Amino acid sequence: MKKITGIVIARNEEALIGDCLDSLAFCDELLLVDNDSSDKTVEIAEAKGAKVIRVTGSGFARIRNEARRHISSEWILYVDADERVSKDLEREIRGILSKEAVRQNAFRLPRVNFYLGNNRWPKVEHLERLFKTSCLKEWYGELHESPSIVGEIGDLKHPVFHYTHRDLSSMVKKTLVWSDVEARLRLEAGHPPMYWWRFPRVMMGTFFDWYILQGGWKAGTVGIIESLYQSFSIFITYAKLWELQKKKK
């Protein structure tokens, strides 16, 4: 059986980190990358047997790359604090690790999202999270980080569960933080001036994507709340971009 390390990046996740690490108990090693927590995240992780390293500052790609430097196992599995590895996924990963030779150097995992409790979102994402350590070159991208991988990428069948947007207050706080980064990145990329007509266009486009294309209408009340919220979130990002453009002038 090939060795695997489960990596979790967390900041002030004392309410979630315990269950997350429990779902990774099948890994040979657990690594918590603590990003300036001020609560009991580290203490809980250490009690679960995780090795803890501390990284300050922002940038998920940079933090994931720092974690990569501390790994000696042949395989790595990245999981966020608000995610849980399903038992079926655990068995599927074990099956891969038990093979004498694995053709693929990385695998995409289906991610099933739950909003505002246990309300399952219709659209399923597919993200690269399981890697042969030697074939993961780096992570790149300041906000929506992506891996650079050498070799073939496969697809797993069973999901990781993502319990995101657990309440409206945390949703708003997250938007206020990350909209600053998104607005700055758009400014640096030379985004066209934000005239009034761009706001309804991006908001309606976002709502159409979430409610129609992603099937939010199937999720009932949560579907309309999440779709409208995503429209609000993109509005905040572009309003901040408008502010930055005004200051730059």
Across the chain, mean pLDDT equals: 94
Alpha-carbon Rg for the chain in angstroms: 19
Q: Which residue has the tokens 């042969």?
A: 132
Q: Of 137, 129, 93, which is closest to residue 111 (Cα–Cα)?
A: 129
158-183 pLDDT, tens per residue?
A: 999 999 998 999 899 989 989 999 99
What's the whole-number mean pLDDT along residues 4-26? 96
pTM for the predicted model, two decimal places: 0.91
Nearest residue to 71 via CA among 3, 11, 23: 3
Q: What is the pLDDT of residues 24-81, one digit of tens each?
A: 999 999 999 999 899 999 999 999 999 999 988 778 888 899 888 899 999 999 999 9
Which strand (E) or helix (H) includes residue 245? helix 220-248
Residue 237: per-residue pLDDT: 97
The average pLDDT across 123-150 equals 92
- Which residues, other chains included, contact 24 with Cβ-Cβ below 8 Å and sequence gap of 6+? 6, 8, 30, 77, 79, 85
Exposed/middle/buried for residue 248 (C-beta within 10 Å: 0-12, 13-18, 19+): exposed
